[in-house]
Structure 1
Amino acid sequence: MCSGGCAKCLGITLIPLAVLSVLANILLFFPGGKTAQSNDHITDEVWFFGGLLGSGVLMIFPALVFLGLKNNDCCGCCGNESCGKRFAMFSSILFAAIGFLGAGYCFVVSAVAINKGPKCEVANGTLAYPFSNGDYLGDHGLWSFCEGPVDVIPWNLTLFSILLIMSGVQAVLCAIQAINGLIGTLCGDCSCCGCCGGDGPV
């Protein structure tokens, strides 16, 4: 597959992942699927905006760049038609790095949140983190320590797990584009430069 075509496929895949990450992060502001009584009831890691910023906003820029590479009609430079295309592929490596860092940030935040567990009401209505080192993941009997909000544990666990998986996929896709961009930079793309009237591969 042409490097530009491959980049377009990766960009198309990244867009829905970014949108879903944003939605998952927004839903985390409603512990247990209900409106939080106050900001103190929201788990701290939600405020790190891993899904909104890391896998969301920061991922949109690389995705748009990847999408545009297929239709890039760079006319080249210094008499070399493939020069502009190669530079575009090189720039995609930089954007892939930005996307990888954003996805990595979301991945780390989500992993920490899953291991730490949600903030919830314990005895006497006190807000605390009753779990440590992910011990609640294998022992559902410990979930009784959380007296409220109702269903906050499965809610947070599900959404942070979704963010963890999607950010992991995004990181892999950005890594693939970094390699693809390097190949496109060194070898050029197999599509021709439309604005230059070329009919052959670059």
Structure 2
Amino acid sequence: MCCSVGFARSLGLALLPLALCCIVANLLLLFPMGEASYIQKDRLASNIWYFGGLGGGGALMLLPAVVFITLGKCSCCWNESLMMCGSVMAAVVGLVGSGYCFVMSGYALVQGPQCFTSYGWSYPFENQRGRYLLQSETWSRCLQPVHIVEWNVTLLCVLLGLAVLEFIICLLQLGNGLVNAVCRPCCYKQEYSLNA
């Protein structure tokens, strides 16, 4: 039990900075090149408002992080079983949050940014199904905000990577909690038979 609790705590400590990085990356998407004027004029891509990083990979990920870190604070057996069930549920919440972050970031990456082109404000890469990512020479179509394609691609790729890491961590804790829930009763039976 001590090993599994220690493992869960270390996973929780790993989740905290990942969640904070997701929040920061999503906030940066709201301010292209550090400018607030585009958010005021409603010139941001619509998918940024789904808050994949802020909600899914960030705020929602804080719940499993806190649950994992606080495991093992009580010593009675009933609470230990309940505690591991709680950590499994928190891991499921984390899987949902990281999955949401991954899907929303991927969708935003495929759609491309909203920007000002020679035809006005539009989504110039929307119908390319992400092919623009491999054609950096087409990025100059976006005249404003300056370097918006690079800005979005970088931050959305960061969010995708963070979401994958969060998913792996929550999956590890899900396995840890389930194995502990299955093996604990077996261990107690063995200890009882040895003591008898």
TM over 0.5: yes
Deviations 1:153-192 (A, max 9, x none): 1111111111110011101110110010112222339xxx
> How far did residue 84 of structure 1 move?
1.9
Q: Which residue of 2 aligns with 1:7?
A: 8
> How far did residue 43 of structure 1 move?
1.3
Deviations 1:85-141 (A, max 9, x none): 1221111111100110010000000001111111100114x2111012112111111
Instruction: Tell me the TM-score normalized by structure 2.
Output: 0.87
Does residue 1:178 correspond to 2:174, yes or no? yes
Q: Which residue of 1 aligns with 2:48?
A: 46
The counterpart of 1:139, out of the listed 129, 135, 142, is: 135
CA–CA separation in structure 2 for the residues paired with 1:65 and 1:39: 40
CA–CA separation in structure 2 for the residues paired with 1:144 and 1:73: 59
Consecutive unaligned residues in structure 2, runs of 5 or more: 186-196
The residue type equivalent to 2:130 in the other structure is G
Identity %: 39
Does residue 1:128 correspond to 2:129, yes or no? no
- SS of match in other structure, 2:70: helix
Q: Which residue of 2 aligns with 1:87?
A: 82
CA–CA separation in structure 2 for the residues paired with 1:7 and 1:95: 11
CA–CA separation in structure 2 for the residues paired with 1:157 and 1:109: 13
CA–CA separation in structure 1 for the residues paired with 2:63 and 2:116: 39
CA–CA separation in structure 2 for the residues paired with 1:109 and 1:74: 41
Pairs within 5 Å for 1:186-201: 186-188=182-184
CA–CA separation in structure 1 for the residues paired with 2:33 and 2:147: 5
CA–CA separation in structure 2 for the residues paired with 1:16 and 1:68: 16
Q: Which residue of 2 aligns with 1:102?
A: 97
Q: Which residue of 1 aligns with 2:62?
A: 60
Superposition RMSD in Å: 1.6
CA–CA separation in structure 2 for the residues paired with 1:182 and 1:111: 30
Q: Which residue of 2 aligns with 1:116?
A: 111
> How far did residue 66 of structure 1 move?
0.3
Q: In the alignment, is the contact (CA less than 8 A) between 1:42 and 1:119 conserved in 2?
A: yes
Q: Which residue of 2 aligns with 1:36?
A: 37
Q: In the alignment, is the contact (CA less than 8 A) between 1:55 and 1:170 conserved in 2?
A: yes
Consecutive unaligned residues in structure 1, runs of 5 or more: 76-81, 190-202
- Count of aligned pairs between the two proteins: 181
Instruction: Tell me the TM-score normalized by structure 1.
Output: 0.85
Does residue 1:153 correspond to 2:149, yes or no? yes
- SS of match in other structure, 1:41: coil
> How far did residue 39 of structure 1 move?
4.3
Q: In the alignment, is the contact (CA less than 8 A) between 1:21 and 1:51 conserved in 2?
A: yes
